Structure formats: C-alpha cells, structure tokens
Structure 1
C-alpha cells in the first residue's frame, strides 16, 4: 500500500501522504522511518531543527539498499531553520543538509522553515535555495509557515527564477485557513498540511467519532482522509508501527460530500503549535 502521487508546479511528483518526524528523537528516527518505508510510506519530512536528519537519511539509504527500490521512489524533505536565513548562512546550511543526506545522494525538497527573520534574510535564503536546485543536488524548493504577505514578497522578488512548489503549514478541520489555502492554490503553490491530527487535542469529537464508527476506522484515519480529500499533501506523525500502518490505510473508503461538509463545519481556529504565518513583515 503506497500513497498516490500529486504533481507540483515544476512537473515533479510527490507522494500525497507522508510521515512527519518532528519530535521523533534521533535514537528512534531510524527505526520509525525504516518501519514506515516497509509499510509503504514513500515520503519522509524532516528539518534541521529536528536533530534527526542524518538518522532519517541513513535509514532511507539502508532501506533502499535492502529493498531494491529505486532512490527516485522515496521523497525526502528537510528545512532551513530561522537562524540560517540569509544568502551566505543558507548556503552553508544547505551544505550541512546535503552532508547529512549523503547516504541518499540528493535531497528531494528543502523548505524555508518559517518567515521569521527579515526581508533580506528570507530572500537571500531563497537565492541560495535556487542555486542548490541549479546544482542538481536539490530537486525542489518551497516554503513553510508562510502567510500571504510573505508569499507575495517572494513572488515579487526581482531575482526569483524558481517559484516555491509548496507551502507547508498547520492545517486540520479545526484550523481551516481558507484565505491562505486559496492564495496558495491561485498561485499554483501546493498546500501541505502538518499536524493534520491536531496533535490529538480534538479527539473524541462526536462528528469525527460517528463517521469513524460508520467506516470502522480510527479518528486519525478520518482526519487524514479529510486532508487528502481536500487535495492537500498531508503529514501525520507517529512512532508506533501499528499507527503507522493504520494512518496509511486510508485508501479503501471515501468520505461523502455530506460528511466532508460536516467536518468542514468544525473550524474553530484551533492552533496546536506556533503561528509564523502572522509574523510581521518588515
């Protein structure tokens, strides 16, 4: 069982359902990623600040070698942290990311983790990312936690030669950022949802429970299915092999339009983490 692929604005493809490894300790990351790949995951999302890039990459490399699956079938993402914004700093940070990923030869995606610096830092980072794509060692570049003003700043950048392919931000039925989603979609920037399970803070909701009972699946599976039905790339996370399997097992049922509408109505602007999308733009 593997996820369907979606096509980015540069023609490259990415599995729509991936695994996030935020807060997965480096000591556990290798096992979790190997288990995920064995189960059928083909998209793994890490970041420099997570402290597990090397373990994640080495686990991917180990699994590819043991499975015989081509490198091109696994999509690996990492991110540049705020302290590394700026052209020269970002170039060095990208170099470090590539060194940690040497066991898999290249990086499929690097995102700017958030807009939390200043105009010069953000745009300098993007310039360095564009050069990394031109080098062939990074295949796609995008943004994370960008609000509309930050995206406009980037799209109006005089040295822009590569548009961001995606914007990754917190997104689930209790936090449906319709304006930001529409702006991304209107500009052909794919929406990627992190914390699609709302960090379990809304588990037990009667609407979700009743739909889960109908299909004899978990609440998490309903939330993941909602995200996929909205055509988002989605990144649930867990370290449990059992939940890794169930989170991926969402392709045997379809939510009805009425069920999707009911889930849509749950929006309450529930933030379960930070919110850099509202970071002031200078």
Structure 2
C-alpha cells in the first residue's frame, strides 16, 4: 500500500493530509507586513471586543461560538465549529486505540482555536512588550489563552489548552476533521484516469528522496494551524455531526500531496489557486517567519520588527 508522509496527522499508519477551508495560502508577491504600533494589550482587546457575561442559559453552542469568535478576532485568531467531546474520542478509539482522548462528558462542547494571517503582528507586539525568553510564538499564545481563561464563566468548567505545548496532548487535526474544519486527504482520494500512474510515480520519487519508513509530523508545518483547544465540560448540547469536508479538486489533491511529500519545507502545499482571496493569504514576512525553525533567528527577526517606528 502506498503511504504518504503526513504534514499534520497519521491515521492507522496511513499517511494523510488535512487541509483547512479556506486554506490560508502564501502571497509571496505582496508587499511586506506593515505593523501598526502599538496594538492594545490582550486584556484590553478581549474586554472591548466581546463579553462572555452576555451568554444566556441554557447553554447554546452557536451563541458561544459567536462570542468567542468576536473575542478572538483582534488577536488574529479564529475558532472552529463546535464539536462534541464524544465525536473526537470515538475517532481516536477507532484510529489510535483511544490515545490522546479528552476527559469530559461525551455531550460536552469543545472548540479548536487557530491562527490566521496577521497573527505575526500579534506575536511581534507581544515580544516588543514582554520580551519572552522562551518560544516567542507560544509566549503570545499563552498570554492570550490566560486572558481567555479569566474571561470564561466559571460555571462552564472550561479547560483551555495550548495544543502546541501540552500537557495534556490532543490530536487537533482529528478535532478539525470531526467538526468539519479540515478536509482529510490521502492518496486513495485521487481517482480517475491516470490516478494509478500518478501514485506509482510519486511513490518512486519518494523512494529516491526520503526513507519510505519515515513517519511523524513536521512541527513547522502547523504554524498557521491550530493553537488551542477549549473544552466546556459544563457546556452540554446535542449537536448534529457535520458531513466531512470535500472542497479540493482532483488536481489540487495531486498538487498538495506531491508538494508536501517531495518538498514540504517550501510550504507550497499550503497554497491554493491564484483566485484565493488576497485577504486570506500570508504576507512574505509571515511566510518566512513561520517557516524558520531556529528560535534565535526568529528572535532576531522580531528584534528587527521592534525597531520600526
């Protein structure tokens, strides 16, 4: 069986790819990022944009999603559709023997939080203000999540976790799949005339470029993806599980799988078509920052941004 290296997730040993819709692609032709100084503090941004105190009983997942989305927007973060803890735990039981399960009632509602274009502005501002000694991206994320914990009503018994750090550790790409935030893509999804030849050709090229037994994820590949998980253990609701996403064309599936497997470090697999909305693309600064894996080089880039007037 042909197996592809996965940028985000492994399921039952088969290498697959999860793509978010709309996928945030890289706009390498755009001008550099313009940072507006100073951005408000996370506490100010949250309290002025939304109020969780306005939530009404009984708990309503749609209302909570709207309030959370509004609260996150100034920090260049977005939240997923609501999902149930039971959906995720069932998927993990079927694909990974129940590892990385969420502790909570099956009907408890949860949300994944992910960053979007211009999140680098937030990281730069936090670095300029706080000068964190460790990972500067996680430093900004943790500060935001800390303020979110303070804002959430205690009655919801919320658990807010930085999924890049843990513990606990969760398989956020599985979360994205069960709440229809991601499309699950693997080689067998490429069908039609010439598909068998395409898979065979890619398999041959993979044998020339990397160990076919090489597994795991590439940490740099999720920089523009999931940041956190919010589990509302007392926020319970019967939800209808959405149908899996299916939005990529056959040609896009081929290109994305080929790009990731053959030269994932270039991040071209993140791009969709030229018609992708410009406001959903990454700037060159964001692209180079988040594909740089050296903490010291990232810090130097932030120092350079800090010098801007």
TM-score (norm 2): 0.26
Tell which structure's C-alpha radius of gyration is larger: 2
Question: Which has the higher relative contact order, 1 or 2, with Cα contacts under 8 A spaced 6 or more apart?
Answer: 2
TM-score (norm 1): 0.28
